Amino acid sequence: MTEATRAETILDAMGAVLTRWTMGSAAAPAATFWRTELGDDPAEAELRLLALSGQFLGTSVTMEPASVLRVLPDIPTLALPTVPEELRPLVRRILAAKKQAQAATELVHFLAARGWTTHPADWMPAADDDDAPDVYASWRDWAALADSDSAARQTNDSLTAENWDDFWPAARKAALTELRRRDSSAARAVLEAKLASETADARLRLLLLLSERLSDDDIPFLERIAADDRAPKVKALAASLLARLGRSPAAGEDVAELAGFFSVKTKGLLRRSRVVQAEPLKTPAQVQRRKALFDGADLVSFSGALGLAPQELIAAWDWNVDHAADMSLINLIVATGTDALVAQAADAVGERDATGLVAALAPRLAPAERTGHAEAALRTHGISFELARQLAGAAARLDDPLSAPAGKTLLAALHRDDARPGDQVPELHALGLLASRDGARQSLQRLTAAGLLQGDPRLDMLRLNAALDDNGAKP
């Protein structure tokens, strides 16, 4: 028997050997080709068979690629450093415990805000992961390259209309974001030249970048998009950006009908002020009609139909009476209000303990404003750490979060006689995302003093926060 024939015989018999092991049976009787090598002792034979089969499969059996292999470029180096090697196991444990995509997004945004990125062996974004921080743009494009037959592209130049095609989509979006912050007119000029060549989804994502440093200089371009773009969703976004600049369509019958669902009244004897109140809705059809009218309106037209300026409407609104109306107005402000009106609305609803409405406004607020509202709601309204994290985003750095009512509630829950090891996991994780480095250290001390073990996995996010140097930009 030749060596090649013997190898084929052994390989054919491996199926029976592995099947027997899988079923929990002895496999040596099926390995007749190694009878001499295995010996007569049944226990020893199984051990020898395990060693011989492992060596055979590892050296004599190789996988053949299904198609021609492609040589990919090295994974790009990111602009921020990788988390220190000693903290990588903690990052992996947090990622493994939080299997939802949203939880991974929270962690990588937290790391980026503190000046760090993940190791590519621990986490990498997918090519279509639009929620990943911009610092990972080159990894997203590398993932897209791995999934396609396209050639690699790389450029270190600033984005222009001429080198637009030298950028892969994620890197192009990140470069355009940076250009918009640095030179808003140049970014708009690039979009004017190249936007029409992109898909509808790409046009929508790129056009949204104009919301930063939005100005009257953008009006002619936005008007052309609102009038001529092929995709209704892109036209709608252009119209909402125009509305933020005060260029809303003339108030029509729909806006007048919407205003009819509300009344402007006065209150107070000595110091009279106006209040906008929702009229009672009598049928489900009226509920749906009012919502549909809100969806098609803009803030300037709606306030004008009530005889008020937008800032007067926000100040006079009767919050916390009709939640559906509150939410519709908030959505209208987010879509068509200026940054100043968004900030005014956040202050107004924050004072009235309408924290859920602030969360809806949060994406339009500056990082420092988000953190301020989150801390105020924690201290004044007693919201949970989970809700505070939604308000604050990745930029929060609270120095003494456990002194807030949510901290006292958390400590009391952990002290309960019927407390279980898996309790309060979301609150402790959110606490780790909210605290500053010093706040995380102080929280760890108090929580371990309260009886939690140093190695309790519920404290992983706090441990990572406390161990990680904060090299990021402060809000």
Residue type, 389: R
Average pLDDT over residues 48-58: 83
Query: Could you tell me the pLDDT band of residue 198, with boundaries at 50, 70 and 90?
Result: very high
Question: 350-367: per-residue pLDDT in tens?
Answer: 888 777 888 899 999 999
Give me the residue spans of the domains in the chain: 3-60, 164-244, 370-467
Q: What is the pLDDT of residue 152?
A: 53
Question: 15-43: per-residue pLDDT in tens?
Answer: 888 888 888 888 888 888 788 888 888 88
Question: 149-188: per-residue pLDDT in tens?
Answer: 655 555 667 889 999 988 888 989 999 999 999 999 999 9
Q: Which residues, listed in sequence order, are joined to residue 277 by a DSSP beta bridge?
A: 263
Q: What is the pLDDT of residue 154?
A: 58
Query: Could you tell me the pLDDT band of residue 55, with boundaries at 50, 70 and 90?
Result: confident
Short-list 464, 405, 414, CA closest to 437: 464
Surface-to-core class of residue 186, CB atoms within 10 Å of its CB (0-12 exposed, 13-18 middle, 19+ buried)? middle
Q: What is the pLDDT of residue 108?
A: 95
Residues 6+ apart with CB under 8 A from 252: none
Per-residue burial over 265-287, b = 16 or more CB atoms within 10 Å of its CB, e = otherwise: eeeeeeeeebebbbeebeeeeee
Would you say 16 and 30 are in contact if contact means Cβ atoms under 8 Å apart? yes
Assess whether pLDDT exceeds 70 at residue 456.
yes
Average pLDDT over residues 207-216: 92
Question: 283-315: per-residue pLDDT in tens?
Answer: 999 999 999 999 989 999 999 999 999 999 999
Would you say 340 and 302 are in contact if contact means Cβ atoms under 8 Å apart? no
Residue predicted with more confidence, 71 or 246: 246
Would you say 354 and 319 are in contact if contact means Cβ atoms under 8 Å apart? yes
Assess whether pLDDT exceeds 90 at residue 86.
yes
DSSP code per residue over 84-127: PGGGHHHHHHHHHH--SHHHHHHHHHHHHHTT-B--TTT----T
From residue 19, give the alpha-carbon distance in Å to each of 27, 63, 423: 8, 20, 43
Q: What is the pLDDT of residue 317?
A: 95
Q: What is the pLDDT of residue 83?
A: 96
> Within 13 Å and on the Cβ side, how many CA atoms surround 346?
28
Assess whether pLDDT exceeds 70 at residue 469.
yes
Average pLDDT over the chain, rounded to whole?
88
From residue 256, give the alpha-carbon distance in Å to each of 175, 305, 405: 43, 6, 45
Q: Which residues, listed in sequence order, are joined to residue 262 by a DSSP beta bridge?
A: 278
Query: Could you tell me the pLDDT band of residue 1, with boundaries at 50, 70 and 90?
Result: low
CA end-to-end distance (rounded Å), the chain: 76
Assess whether pLDDT exceeds 80 at residue 8.
no
